Chains A and B, each alone.
Chain A
């Protein structure tokens, strides 16, 4: 009976993997028949696969352990999968007309994207440190191939190499950390880690060392400062749709894993609390301050994503159900506002080939709707009411405040002001400055779909957060 039930929990991974493999097969068949066609079919196939996955995502009814005790289906896994699949969905839509990806190479591209999403499924459901490690690898390998997908561009290759080296290095740390924890506990399961008693009965030194290494490795993966240096290079080197994916899915999933592993140590108020607080503080600061100096929009968004990781970390740091639900809601809001912003950036980059601020000059005159939408997303990212970004920032800050992190909240709030300054650089270029040859953006149907959905949710989460909150809270408190 258990076996038949667990099948449903495997189903999303099965569908995603089948689509990924199918892409490669389809690729082979189409290529032999005709050189240039097939792009649309591959695109539609990827979309269908993703939609089917979403249809078959099981609802989190309590906690379900499966896969030889190594996986767990709960609210965290559910939210992670939804965010990842939606991010992949938006990215697929944006890729269809991307000038970066050559006609004959979309098959492997979609395949890799879907495989990374499978990895995120495993990351979200992981209930064992080994599983976390495997999932991390499954996410990282397709992603650095995707980052370097435009081989002709030297930047792209450089970015992929950097990303690869950092990923390998952090994987090493992760494995070493896991081995130390295994040495202390005799198991790699997450169960003893979430049990407060463990800390009383086992070697604290080994455990702390192991967990610190795990924390550092996760810090590299999600790009917390001071382990963030690969992020801006990866964002500028990668094709813009891939940068959009990088900025959302793996980061949010990584943060959720971090929350899962460190929930108990945090609630016990162990030394990690201060390490995490310092990381959050530094991440917000670096993300904001260094972002100010950027003139390339992709780089600017790389730093913006770093800063937002810091804000989300505040919710984790709160160590309360309130804080967790704040982090989730932040994840949702971030998915929509960042995907929306990247949709506009991708549209501009596709038409101008440049992500420099100059490319955005005068956009408000040549394409007022596109410019207005980007303004909406930027305001949301800057945390201005009444948009999603404001509500979630407010929620995260109040959760952290409630847990006693008063100064950290002040710090984050002040950084939000500095952060606003760099989002306004883009707005200034679009509205206040003019250009003799402003780019005109005629939106494709795919871009319209992405922008419609993301702007709708950016507004909806801001104006009616209760619709999203109540549901999330219901799952979490259970």
Chain B
């Protein structure tokens, strides 16, 4: 029951919001925050109560849903998904804090937001592929509105582009699901059953399945060349939604690839590992080069996400314990750090209504606390040791480097790390440490709400950097088992 509670609690909260008059904005904000905080607590409780010795799915709930198609309502959590769920609930809560600043159509915003949270948690917990698809698609609907109504100047285009890209990917997954349903003799969408049969499926069939699933996940990750929706959506989305997009939705793609892509077409996945590595390296290098060319800070961070998700893809493509650990670590780290970066850029944008790096100067003198946060977030993102980003990156590369055939490619990928350092440092110099400009002399430093939103993320990035075994130990154990 606990997993259903966790999944549907935000949706119940959204239902409750319907009955609050739209003029009572503070009550709406308060209720939403409480709902997301309780959801976060439930997921934390779940984390502390998971048995570490147990590699299988825990807290399993399984009920027949549509008997004619063998569809189950099947939820379960394991060491991989719990981290994704924790990330989701935490980032949702923080995004909601940062969304207190939204004053336009408040009620609808929070209703869509909580619906989105249910869909995201559901996607990470589903163990029936049909159910997974339902939740996967359900994330699109609120996201479309959240970008489309509360976004920037090109919001309409960004929203529909995001929607159509992901929907386009999804239909490939849908056809792959149907194919798997008829291929397995049990006629089921139950992941735990399919996984035991997958190894016997013929090679060509596995290749079809793999590509079907991969295209769906690649759009979300986003992997080159299906990434073009991302910069637009991230830039146009309001700050809290950028946080969720980068922090959680991208992880859904990588998570899907790890959980379903690699396990349901094992032979094809090994065969395609090389292709995945190539795509990963393109993501890393191309993403960081694009970031280097940006003048808009938010756009730069969006491209850095593409580059960082390339690390994740590289770790996954390595298909060894080291690589997987790196991928999970990088996913969590990227969620925390990029979340913080988007929040921080949002802080500056709220004050100045511009994100153009050249328009700024000397912010370091005006907003010292803000600058400190930004420095830490940027260093975490470019992979400074002792911060979370470093270990994720390191293990991804290490995992891939162990494979003889990938060495050259991995070495090329390392260039991306250099470019990443370059664009972050250049940005810091231009915005914070260049000569001060007159128009920004009266900027106030971060207020309490902004600090409350950003600090937990930075603290966790530091914690995971100092004490990575919190995450790495259980993950290593799970993949070894």
Contacts and interface: CB of A to CB of B under 8 A. Distances in A.
Contact of A432 (B66, B155, B182): B155
B68 A428 contact: no
Interface stretch (A83-91, A192-200, A414-422): A414-422
Given A386-B134, A420-B167, A421-B164, A432 B179 contact: no
B138 interface: yes
Given A428-B148, A431-B145, A417 B178 contact: no
Interface in B299-321: none
B115 to A, nearest CB: 12
Interface in A394-437: 394-395, 397-398, 401-402, 409-410, 413-414, 416-417, 420-421, 424, 427-428, 431-433
B68 A469 contact: yes
A413 B175 contact: yes
B171 A414 contact: yes
B155 A465 contact: no
A385 interface: yes
Interface in A76-120: none
Contacts of B369: none
B296 interface: no
A420 to B, nearest CB: 6
Contacts, number: 75
B168 interface: yes
Contacts of A420: 163-164, 167
A397 B65 CA distance: 19
Category for how many chain B residues contact A: 20 to 34
B467 to A, nearest CB: 40
B181 interface: yes
B68 A470 contact: yes
Nearest to B66: A466
A465 B71 CA distance: 11
Interface string A291-319: 00000000000000000000000000000
Given A432-B159, A465-B66, A469-B68, A398 B178 contact: yes
A379 interface: yes
Given A385-B138, A424-B163, A466 B67 contact: yes
Contact of A428 (B134, B160, B171): B160
Interface string B344-365: 0000000000000000000000
Category for how many chain A residues contact B: 20 to 34
B133 interface: yes
A398 B181 contact: yes
B61 interface: no
A247 to B, nearest CB: 24
B167 A417 contact: yes
A473 interface: yes
Given A384-B140, A424-B163, A470-B68, A397 B178 contact: yes
Interface in B170-208: 171-172, 174-175, 178-179, 181-182
A466 B68 contact: yes
B137 to A, nearest CB: 5
A386 B175 contact: no
Contact of B174 (A413, A427, A466): A413
Contact of A413 (B148, B149, B160, B171): B171
A379 B164 CA distance: 13
Contacts of B160: 421, 424, 428
Contact of B171 (A385, A395, A416, A421): A416
7 contacts: A384-B138, A385-B134, A397-B174, A409-B178, A410-B175, A417-B171, A465-B68
The 7 A-B residue pairs whose C-beta atoms are closest, nearest first, are: A413-B171, A385-B134, A432-B148, A398-B178, A417-B168, A466-B66, A401-B178
Interface of B: 65-69, 108, 133-134, 137-138, 140-141, 144-145, 148-149, 155-156, 159-160, 163-164, 167-168, 171-172, 174-175, 178-179, 181-182
Given A413-B172, A420-B164, A421-B160, 19 more contacts: A385-B137, A385-B138, A401-B175, A401-B182, A409-B178, A413-B171, A413-B175, A416-B171, A417-B164, A417-B168, A417-B171, A421-B164, A424-B144, A428-B148, A431-B145, A432-B159, A433-B156, A466-B68, A470-B68
